[in-house]
């Protein structure tokens, strides 16, 4: 495969990876490069030269895809928060049929139902307790140490989902309430580089550096672990993910002031919800 093709495929994976509900891992599987990428990550320290040679063009393409789409997505959330959230919610919920097939609830169904319900309740309680951070907003930390620990953990949690095909890491970020703040910080860094505003670039590293460290560390540490878990407990992993996805309406919409949503945006949101779900069902990997 030529380097240009790898970069282009990485670009598509990056575009898919930044949209909540769309799995970059699934796209990598459909293009036949998932095993190659995961293998290179898993053996980065054993075969560094070969792994870097494989990962570099994909990484460049992913960076270009993420950077090119980040401004567009943030603008949509800022201008049409309800409609944009409903569109992404449709993309998330549209993956439920595929998850149900992978979870195989008919086998050891009771244990899987309990696991799915437990995850659903946990995520819903977190959303209510956090006051709907999934709808966006500023992140508040009491101390620098709290910010460092929290953002590192958030990066690691997001990285785990990126290893599992069919699960969106950005979806999980959105449900935890960190998607829009991280996206905003990333866009400020991009704008800072373009305008030479290096102070802004440095200020945003307080949020992005620990997140990026957690993301990278999580991918390297969890690639083999997730491969082993999927090989041994694949259906239970997807049962837990099903509970997470089912909690997404409460998590994502809880913080949006519905009184400010007009009739036009409400109608548009419902249509986008249906369109997003239908799109994912039609493009399902099964």
Residue 105 burial (CB < 10 Å; 0-12/13-18/19+)? middle
Average pLDDT over residues 152-179: 76
Q: What is the pLDDT of residue 117?
A: 92
> Of 50-59, 160-169, 233-242, which one has max mean pLDDT?
50-59
Q: Are 173 and 179 in contact (CB under 8 A)?
A: yes
Share of the chain above pLDDT 90, in %: 10
Are 228 and 104 spatial neighbours (Cβ–Cβ below 8 Å)? no
pLDDT tens digits along 61-98: 888 888 887 888 778 777 888 888 888 788 777 778 87
Cα distance from N-terminal residue to C-terminal residue, the chain: 26
Residue 134 or 29, more confident = 29
Q: Is pLDDT above 50 for 134?
A: no
Could you give the CA distance from residue 250 to residue 1 in angstroms, rounded to a whole number? 44
What pLDDT, on the 0 to 100 scale, is given for residue 4? Answer: 79
Is the per-residue pLDDT at 22 higher than 70? no
Given a cut of 60, is residue 168 above it in pLDDT? yes
At 138 the pLDDT is: 61
Model pLDDT, residue 86: 86
Backbone angles phi, psi at 255, to 5 degrees: -90, 0
d(CA 97, CA 106): 14
**Would you place residue 137 in the very low, low, confident or very high pLDDT band (cuts 50, 70, 90)?**
low
Q: 37-51, 122-136, 184-198, 209-223 — which one is most confidently predicted on average?
A: 184-198
**Could you give the CA distance from residue 21 to residue 284 in angstroms, rounded to a whole number?**
12
The pLDDT score that the predictor gives to residue 165 is 61
Spatial separation of the C-alpha atoms in residues 117 and 92, rounded to whole Å: 18
Query: Residue 47 carries which DSSP code?
Result: S
Let me know: does 255 contact 132? Beta carbons within 8 Å: yes
Share of the chain above pLDDT 70, in %: 82
**Predicted local distance difference test score (pLDDT) of residue 198:** 92
| Residue 125 phi, psi dihedral angles, 5° rounding | -65, -40
Three-state DSSP class for residue 68: helix
Strand, helix or coil for residue 173: helix
Average model confidence (pLDDT) across the chain: 79
Interval 114-127 mean pLDDT? 83
Chain centroid offset of residue 279 CA: 18
Does position 103 have pLDDT exceeding 60, yes or no? yes
Q: In sequence order, what are the residues at sequence separation of 6 or more whose Cβ sits closer than 8 angstroms to the Cβ of residue 226?
A: 160, 163, 164
Angle between the N-to-C axes of helices 81-93 and 169-176, in degrees from 0 to 180, rounded to the nearest 10: 130
Mean pLDDT of 128-154: 72
Chain position carrying tokens 């030529």: 2
In this prediction, residue 164 carries a pLDDT of 67
pTM score of the predicted model? 0.64
pLDDT per residue as tens digits for the range 195-238: 999 999 999 999 999 999 998 888 777 767 766 776 788 888 78
With beta carbons less than 8 A apart as the criterion, state whether 261 and 270 touch. Answer: no
Length of the chain in terms of residues written: 286
- Quote the CA–CA distance of 158 and 148 in Å, as a whole number: 16
Q: Is the pLDDT of residue 3 over 60?
A: yes
Q: Which band of pLDDT confidence, cut at 50, 70 and 90, is reported for residue 23?
A: low
Structure tokens at 23: 């799995």
Question: Token pair of 138, please?
Answer: 């500023």
The CA distance from 66 to 15, in Å, is 6
175: closest CA among 258, 248, 121? 248
Contacts of 270 (CB under 8 A, 6+ apart): 86
């Amino acid at each position: 495969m030529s380097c240009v093709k790898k970069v282009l495929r990485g670009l598509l994976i990056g575009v898919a990876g930044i949209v909540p509900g769309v799995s970059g891992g699934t796209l990598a599987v459909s293009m036949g490069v998932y095993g190659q990428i995961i293998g290179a990550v898993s053996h980065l320290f054993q075969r560094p030269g070969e792994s870097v040679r494989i990962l570099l063009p994909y990484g460049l393409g992913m960076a270009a895809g993420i950077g090119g789409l980040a401004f567009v997505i943030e603008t949509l959330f800022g201008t049409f928060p309800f409609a944009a959230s409903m569109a992404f919610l449709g993309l998330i919920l549209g993956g439920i049929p595929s998850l149900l097939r992978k979870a195989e609830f008919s086998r050891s169904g009771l244990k899987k139902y309990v696991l799915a319900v437990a995850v659903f309740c946990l995520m819903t309680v977190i959303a209510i307790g956090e006051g709907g951070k999934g709808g966006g907003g500023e992140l508040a930390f009491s101390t620098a140490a709290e910010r460092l620990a929290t953002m590192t953990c958030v990066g690691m949690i997001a990285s785990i989902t990126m290893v599992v095909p069919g699960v969106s890491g950005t979806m999980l970020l959105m449900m935890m309430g960190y998607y829009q703040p991280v996206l905003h910080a990333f866009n400020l860094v991009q704008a800072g580089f373009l305008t030479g505003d290096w102070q802004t670039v440095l200020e945003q590293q307080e949020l992005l550096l620990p997140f990026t460290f957690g993301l990278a560390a999580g991918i390297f540490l969890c690639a083999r672990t997730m491969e082993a878990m999927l090989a041994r407990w694949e259906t239970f992993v997807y049962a837990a993910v099903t509970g997470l996805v089912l909690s997404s309406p409460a998590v994502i919409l809880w913080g949006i002031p519905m009184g400010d949503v007009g009739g036009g945006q409400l109608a548009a949101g419902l249509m986008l919800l249906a369109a997003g779900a239908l799109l994912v069902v039609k493009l399902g990997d099964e």
